[in-house]
Structure 1
Amino acid sequence: MKKYFGLLILLIGFQACQSQQSKGDGSNDGTGKLNRISVFNIADARQFYTWTADRIPMVSAHRGGPYPGFPENAIETFENVLIYTPAIIELDVAMTRDSVLVLMHDDELDRTTNGTGKVNEVSYEYIQSLFLEDMDGQLTDFKVPTLEEALLWSKGKALLTVDIKRSVPFEKVVETVRTTEAVSYAALISYTFPAAKKLHSLAPELMLSITIRNEEEIQRFEETGIPWDRVIAFTGLAERNWEFNEQLHQKGAFTILGVLGNLDRSAIARGDEIYVSFIQNGADILATDRPIEAAAAIRGLVPNQSSKSIYFKNAN
């Protein structure tokens, strides 16, 4: 008999996924129920990210999962994705001239807002005056959120992975995660082992998403001294074989495969069933620009799914 305890994943109103073309009418008017992931403490987060054979495959919404009408790195966009599927939300953090942490991927404001200039050269007051544009360049009514706002909103709704831009001090991000009591659901992204070591020294309690793409990088990670129960293994943007993913699973680590880019385009060209093959080959989380479609494809792999379900992470 299986024993279930610890992490509660609450999936409320699990609606049928719609295509990107028809998705635009799923507006965030507050009437749609959200699919939530609730993590109550850091022990639950570590348990969730510890691999077991009955793990539930998931999607990670790259830059929050932008779609037409929903710009990247916007809270409204995060909410739109959660209408269709529970998800990990990946977001980007930049810092203004007056040291306010905001959600922004680019160094400059021009592509994603109706403003101009570099984020680190303008004030937060100026950024507050702007509106976000979607990926087609259409202006929306949505504002640039602060990291604090995103962390507070996400509590009880989604797990986060936080991509820290080059000019942002790690210390300031860690401080914000701690003061908003987001330690249990906000993992920090690191692309290099020195950066991972620094983040772990600053906040040993936090989960880290660390790039581990081959056996050499497994060894280099182990040389950092960071425990395996603090790591989510990002295996890069190319599919890894089952044997490599199994090595990470034997360490207890979840794998995140970045399907954004070429692999997402392959799914568009060849059919969304390709997402299932990535999961069957050992990917646990698909980091994607198409979270709604990818989630629809892999949903059949989750047992006993219904319109209102409660899942517990299997402890054994």
Structure 2
Amino acid sequence: MNRRDFMALSSATIAATAFSGTPALGQDASFTKRFASTDQLAAYTRLSALLEHPAIMAHRAGYYPWGGIPECSIFGAEQVIKRGPAFIEIDVRTSADGVPVCVHDETLDRGTTGTGRVDEVSADYIAGLTLRDNLGQATGYSIPTFEDFLDWGENGAMLWLDTKDIDPALLVEMVRARGAESRVIVSAYGREILEHYQELAPDLVYFVPFIEGLGLPDVQSILDTGLNPGHLIGMAGFDLPNMKGTLALAEIDAPALLDVQNIDRRYEPGNVNPNLYTRAVEEGLPFICTDQYSAALDALGITDWA
């Protein structure tokens, strides 16, 4: 998809189509997926497979940018699996005393009732706080630890781990201790981090964006770390895809995640343009990170895991 096409998608002149943009609170159904191995998860997330069954990632665990559901909360993640099949992104940081917690920002000031840098306060301090929603209102929901999310994910929820500053050895240890290898996708930012992960856990499925300054400017540099190309998910870009990188990934059947959060949050819930999602899939970008996961599921007709 070229720049002109994507700019057209974000134009306010496009006629919007109504979708159910709010999470389906209170449903009993649970849309989860269990893979028997990391190889099965890898096969499910190949580009050729996703072109047959597109996949949605619920950004920041399905938070609600218009208030009520805070970022990286287990409550938000529960609404995702009640609404439909989607990968659940969580951000993982580490407290001053070494406990991985799920907080998006490097500081606590915006998203919680606390203050200070996450890596400069104790886990006990963080445990005493609650999350704020995107409008700044305190919600009463506690800040989950990474352990909390891994334990919750035993229900079959698929977790996408946006690793902010967690030590790779600790992450792998915690994932393995719970047998969670086939229900997580691990982000790796930069050559040094990716090489460390390849020494520790070459069997996992990894999200690796192109990062020029950290030694991963292209697909070959990523594969030179020893990463199994069949376990790689790349990054198409934010809103406007990097077509050179996307096509290079396609040559090894690796998908390129397209993050449309900057576009789709411009639409009010219930008034989202379906072309944003359908055109992306038509142009070979069937893995989409979105703030409007409910609308994206509707637009693409995704009613269950493949």
Given that 1:39 and 1:156 are in contact with CA atoms closer than 8 Å, whether structure 2 keeps it comes out as: no
Q: Counterparts in 2 of 1:1-316, with a 5 A limit? A: 18-20=20-22, 23=23, 26-28=24-26, 31-52=27-48, 55-67=52-64, 68-166=67-165, 168-212=166-210, 217-240=218-241, 245-261=246-262, 263-265=263-265, 271-299=273-301, 311=306
Rounded to whole Å, the distance in 1 between the matches of 2:118 and 2:222 is 33
3-state DSSP of counterpart to 1:142 = strand
Q: CA deviation at 1:266?
A: 6.4
Rounded to whole Å, the distance in 2 between the matches of 1:216 and 1:70 is 36
Q: 1:159 to 1:245 in 2, by over 3 A?
A: same
3-state DSSP of counterpart to 1:52 = helix
Given that 2:256 and 2:287 are in contact with CA atoms closer than 8 Å, whether structure 1 keeps it comes out as: yes
Q: 1:206 to 1:122 in 2, by over 3 A?
A: same
Alignment gaps of 5+ in structure 2: 1-17
- Two-structure CA RMSD over aligned residues (Å): 2.6
Cα deviation per residue 1:125-173 (whole Å; 9 max; x = unaligned)?
Answer: 221111111111111121111111101212343222211113x322111
Rounded to whole Å, the distance in 2 between the matches of 1:152 and 1:171 is 19
Given that 2:93 and 2:101 are in contact with CA atoms closer than 8 Å, whether structure 1 keeps it comes out as: yes
- Scaled by the length of structure 2, what TM-score is found? 0.83
Rounded to whole Å, the distance in 1 between the matches of 2:192 and 2:115 is 33
Rounded to whole Å, the distance in 2 between the matches of 1:266 and 1:169 is 35
> Which stretch of the first structure deviates more once superposed, 35-44 or 131-140?
35-44
Q: 1:266 to 1:97 in 2, by over 3 A?
A: closer
Q: CA deviation at 1:52?
A: 2.2
Rounded to whole Å, the distance in 2 between the matches of 1:240 and 1:230 is 21
Taking only the aligned residue pairs, the percentage that are identical comes to: 29
Cα deviation per residue 1:43-90 (whole Å; 9 max; x = unaligned)?
Answer: 211221233255310110111121121100011101112222211111
Q: CA deviation at 1:232?
A: 1.0
One-letter amino acid of the structure 1 residue matched with residue 160 of structure 2 = T
3-state DSSP of counterpart to 1:109 = coil
Rounded to whole Å, the distance in 2 between the matches of 1:51 and 1:142 is 37
One-letter amino acid of the structure 2 residue matched with residue 176 of structure 1 = M
One-letter amino acid of the structure 2 residue matched with residue 185 of structure 1 = R
Name 1:9's counterpart in structure 2.
Answer: none
Q: 1:252 to 1:112 in 2, by over 3 A?
A: same
3-state DSSP of counterpart to 1:163 = strand
Rounded to whole Å, the distance in 1 between the matches of 2:211 and 2:94 is 29
Given that 1:246 and 1:282 are in contact with CA atoms closer than 8 Å, whether structure 2 keeps it comes out as: no
Given that 2:198 and 2:226 are in contact with CA atoms closer than 8 Å, whether structure 1 keeps it comes out as: no
Given that 1:213 and 1:235 are in contact with CA atoms closer than 8 Å, whether structure 2 keeps it comes out as: no
Rounded to whole Å, the distance in 1 between the matches of 2:150 and 2:126 is 19
One-letter amino acid of the structure 1 residue matched with residue 113 of structure 2 = N
Given that 2:113 and 2:132 are in contact with CA atoms closer than 8 Å, whether structure 1 keeps it comes out as: yes
Q: CA deviation at 1:176?
A: 1.0
One-letter amino acid of the structure 1 residue matched with residue 279 of structure 2 = S
One-letter amino acid of the structure 2 residue matched with residue 123 of structure 1 = S
Given that 1:107 and 1:119 are in contact with CA atoms closer than 8 Å, whether structure 2 keeps it comes out as: yes
Name 1:4's counterpart in structure 2.
Answer: none
Given that 1:49 and 1:254 are in contact with CA atoms closer than 8 Å, whether structure 2 keeps it comes out as: yes
Q: 1:267 to 1:113 in 2, by over 3 A?
A: closer
Rounded to whole Å, the distance in 2 between the matches of 1:90 and 1:310 is 17
Given that 2:190 and 2:211 are in contact with CA atoms closer than 8 Å, whether structure 1 keeps it comes out as: no
Q: 1:124 to 1:252 in 2, by over 3 A?
A: same
3-state DSSP of counterpart to 2:186 = strand
Q: Paired residues, what number?
A: 281
Q: CA deviation at 1:18?
A: 1.9
